[in-house]
A and B are shown apart, each in its own frame.
Chain A
Amino acid sequence: MSLAHVFREHPERRYIMFGGKGGLGKTTFSAATAYWLAKQGKRVLVFSVDPQASLSDIFQRDIFGKGAVEIMPNLYVQEIDADEHIRAYQDEIRQKIRDMYGFDKIPQEIEDYIQAASAEPAMEESAIFDQVVDIIVEGGYDYYIYDLVPLGHALYYLSMSSVYDQWIDKITKLREEMREYEQMAARIKREEELPEDQILAELQDIRYRISTSSSILTDREKTAFFFVLVP
């Protein structure tokens, strides 16, 4: 099999995606590649967002929603449980609101908003997106293998990545501009220290993470994309 050849020839391609129609062997190839690389002494993470937990099947371990699990030396497998992640994330947001304002209970209007935002299909999509961003930005592995779900998903993921990238960039710039007006007013009124804009800080963090991961995944030097086809 000449995949080995590809990895030997291009050691800088550390991000690998397997795409193709359903049932053609993406998960099988992902697992085999991960196993081979781990045997070569590379630290490998193979991950998926497939709710069918097919990596759990192939490695015969229940790893769904359990973070990165070490299967054998150098081989880590992670199956993201998007629903569970969204639930935990909502709770985190609620807790933050309670702490920030000393509420016992989340105001109805805010709770409605949390529910409505979470009910949108775009919620799952953006949550999964962020999980992948998280994995890429955190680092710590020599190779990352993304076992994709159906066809289109890979390209879809990449195009989503550039759309998110541009959106966050625009919104962050708007916020930065707002900050400039605020600073201008403070200077004229000779006010001392302006308190930090926490929203701006969050946006800059989001922008940094998204642009880091999207620049990696759209870089052909770093990311290899394989289509699994029927022979």
Chain B
Amino acid sequence: MSEQEKQSFFSKVRHVVTDFIYGMASHEMARQALKTRGSMEHLFILITMGDLLGVPILPPYYSLRLLPYVVPQVSTWKRRMLREKDLTDALA
């Protein structure tokens, strides 16, 4: 391998490695963003559909208006919420 070829080889490797690390980092960031989004979803349903647990928060008239959109979440959510222990932290 000539000096020149070596250089270009290493620069390619660096490129690939940087891309790879960058890819990992952005994957991690995307995952974090979605995770945050997911736990907010939790909080959101609690606030809007709270009376599922007997805590009315949003006026019921408006809570019914949102109900159609959360039908799939409602049943799984109720079960999850009951064992969620950091709920109070989320609300603080």
Contact = CB atoms under 8 A, between A and B. Distances in A.
Contact of A181 (B37, B43, B47, B60): B37
Contacts of A181: 33-34, 36-37, 40
Given A181-B34, A185-B30, A113 B49 contact: yes
Contact of B41 (A114, A125, A171, A178): A178
Contacts of A164: 59
Contact of A114 (B27, B57, B67, B78): B67
Scoring B30, B59, B62, B78 by chain A CB atoms within 10 A of each residue's CB, the highest score goes to B59
Interface string B64-77: 11111111101100
Scoring B41, B57, B66 by chain A CB atoms within 10 A of each residue's CB, the highest score goes to B66
Contact residue range for chain B? 35 or more
A113 B67 contact: yes
A96 B37 CA distance: 26
A157 interface: no
B29 A113 contact: no
B52 interface: yes
Contacts of A90: 64
B26 interface: yes
A130 B63 CA distance: 12
A113 B51 CA distance: 8
A110 B71 contact: yes
Contact residue range for chain A? 35 or more
Contact of B30 (A97, A129, A189): A189
Nearest to B67: A93
Contacts of B60: 117-118, 120, 122-123, 126
A67 B40 CA distance: 40
Contact of B71 (A89, A97, A117): A97
A182 B57 CA distance: 25
Interface string A164-196: 100110010011011001101100110000000
Interface of A: 89-90, 93, 96-97, 100-101, 107, 109-110, 113-114, 116-118, 120, 122-123, 125-127, 129-130, 164, 167-168, 171, 174-175, 177-178, 181-182, 184-185, 188-189, 198-199, 202-203, 206
